[in-house]
Chains A and B, each alone.
Chain A
Amino acid sequence: MEASAKPLAISLYNMRPGEKGIVAYFNTKDEAIIKKLMAMGVIPGLPIVLEQRFPSFIIKVGRTRAAIDQDIAKTIYVRLTTGK
């Protein structure tokens, strides 16, 4: 995808609460995880906000809010747009 040509993406796991970005890609070979994320609406190209890191990661993608664990957070890569 052309996403990788733009500013480097960072793992959601390394984002701070309140930071925003665009979902860039999933860094995993596990198709099951990818399918589930996409089923929840976490899809590359959509704006994403990290709302909370503990005890679970809470993200908002488009209008969907979802909770994910650390391992899944590590697989989502985000191009930051605005920091806090």
Chain B
Amino acid sequence: MLINRIKYPEPIEKAIAEIEKLLTVEYKLSKRSLALLLLQKDEALLAEIAKKEPHYQEILKIIDDTQKQFKEPLSFVIASARQEFALNVEKEALKEKETEKASITEFLHKLTVNPITGIPIMFLILYFGIYKFVGVFGAGTLVDLIETYFENNINPVVNQVTAQVIPWKVLQDLIANDYGIITLGIRYAVAIVLPVVTLYFLMFSILEDSGYLPRLSLLIDRAFKVIGLSGRAVIPMVLGFGCDTMATMVTRTLETNRERIIATLLLALAIPCSAQLGVILGLLSNNPEALLIWAGVMILVFLLIGYLSSQLLPGKKAGFYMEIPPLRIPKLKNILTKTFVRMKWYFIEILPLFILASVLIWIGKLTGLFDLIIKGLEPVMLWIGLPPKAAQVFLFGFFRRDYGAAGMFDLYQNGILAGKQLVVAAVTLTLFIPCIAQFSMMLKERGTKVTLAITAFILPFAFFMGYLLNFLLTVLGVNF
């Protein structure tokens, strides 16, 4: 075998031979490979050996004694020997032209990583790729189109059929009508999640395939360090503007648990998803000042809470290192395959959550639990200067973030919300706990303890910020 041709430094070869003799159980790998893995302190294998091998202690002693003969960690010594071998193979096999001409991709690379040109390029890509394409076209145009189709063609049929087949109103409501599994759960999944996520993954696959994402990470790393994240966290944060649920899922790619917690918190708190963003932009776009205040508060909260949590959370700060692949023109087939596979995988994971939301709404209405919560929320609404009617918007906002925003839209059109109330409501609702899908994803990815801690912080914080903003706007006499 090829691997046997690598000659490691003498003490390592000796240790390999000794460990090989001590291994008694059969494994899938050769004993030489096992010995090498053990010398590199492979944790999974060490744990397995501890259970299976009678000579475990002796093996540990050999590793320890071998380590004493080197200044560097054994894994380093082993990798160096391999590197030397690889270099020799390369020298034999590869003929290379001496002069490497600066190609067009090199030029583009320089443009994208130089902060002077790179940062404007970054904003252009995020603006057109994410905001325009996914936000405006996907979350706006496409969602409207599919949702209107559902409301005009599918929901009436479902309602009618259910009414005829099921005699009990209670059960009808579970499947059809305003909050039914099909008329709400499936409709949301198909009409909102599907187009947004599809376009998002499409854009994301293009960026990924072109090799741009690592460049985005390296540009932003320093800024993100301030809020306790590394450049790596750019990807989930950018994804969050598409859908926070999927972004929460993607935080699993981050290095440290600390970084994953900070990213999850920021996603839940300050990053509005595209559906929510669409409605809020629509709502506030008549008042540029209101929009500015909303955006300013969000950015401030994002930075402040990120900074504070990075100061307070224990643990090692995240380091940043990333391979920078060459820029390439993405291949259509790659992009389509990736988009499709991710969509399918995401859809399967998210669909049950939407159905669950329908069932929970059904139970909540049936048992009167919702009325109770809404009654409880009403004084809070008055406290932050909103009409009591807004309570319902907040409760439903939990089941679907943009549903809350859409409810706000109704209140606005009926003239119940006006002026600064709109801004206060938009800010509170954006900060407010994420939708139920994201909440379940948090439970799944971060566990109950962290999720409850994050929720316990976000709930009062959102209302406190609403109160503070309302207070400030009133004191300063700002009106729209």
A residues neighboring B (CB under 8 Å): 1, 25-26, 31, 33-38, 40-41, 43-46, 52, 54-56, 58, 64-69, 71-72
Contact of A31 among B75, B220, B325 (CB under 8 A): B75
Given contacts A38-B75, A65-B325, A67-B321, 14 further A-B contacts (CB under 8 A): A26-B76, A43-B83, A45-B80, A45-B87, A46-B83, A52-B114, A54-B115, A56-B219, A56-B320, A65-B323, A67-B113, A68-B322, A69-B221, A69-B225
Known A-B contacts A44-B80, A45-B83, A58-B113; A66 and B75 likewise in contact (beta carbons under 8 Å)? no
Q: How far is the CB of B189 from chain A (nearest CB, A)?
A: 38
Q: Nearest Cβ distance between residue A39 and chain B, in whole angstroms?
A: 9
Interface extent on B, as a size class?
20 to 34
Q: Which residue of A lies closest to B79 (CB)?
A: A38
Q: By the criterion CB–CB under 8 Å, are B321 and A66 in contact?
A: yes
Question: Given A34-B75, A45-B84, do A55 and B218 touch, yes or no (CB 8 Å)?
Answer: yes
Residues of the A chain whose Cβ atoms lie less than 8 Å from the Cβ of B251: none
> What residues of chain B lie closer than 8 Å to A68, measured between beta carbons?
320-322
Minimal beta-carbon separation of B74 from chain A (angstroms): 10
Identify which of A25, A35, A67 gathers the most chain B CB atoms within 10 Å of its CB. Answer: A67
Complex A-B: 14 CB contacts under 8 Å? A26-B76, A34-B73, A34-B76, A37-B321, A41-B323, A55-B219, A55-B220, A56-B231, A65-B323, A67-B321, A68-B320, A68-B321, A69-B225, A72-B321
Q: Are A67 and B319 in contact (CB under 8 A)?
A: no
CA distance A40 to B73 in the complex (A): 17
Kindly state the separation between the CA atoms of A45 and B76 in the bound complex, as whole angstroms: 12
Once bound together, how far apart are the Cα atoms of A11 and B320, in whole Å? 17
B26 in contact (CB, < 8 A)? no
Q: Look across to chain B and name the residue whose beta carbon is closest to the beta carbon of A43.
A: B83
Q: How far is the CA of A69 from the CA of B80 in the complex (A)?
A: 23
- A45 partner residues in chain B, CB cutoff 8 A: 80, 83-84, 87
A30 to chain B, nearest CB (A): 9
Q: Within 8 Å CB of B219, what residues of A?
A: 55-56
- Residues on B with C-beta less than 8 A from A25 are 72
Least Cβ distance of A1 to chain B in Å?
Answer: 8
User: Given the complex, which residues of B lie within 8 Å of A31, measured CB to CB?
Assistant: 41, 73, 75
Q: Given the known A-B contacts A40-B323, A55-B115, A56-B320, are A67 and B217 also in contact in the complex, defined by CB atoms under 8 Å?
A: yes
Check if A67 sits within 8 Å of B218, measured CB to CB: yes
Alpha-carbon distance A31/B76, docked complex (angstroms): 9
The verdict on B324 contacting chain A, using a C-beta distance below 8 Å, is: yes
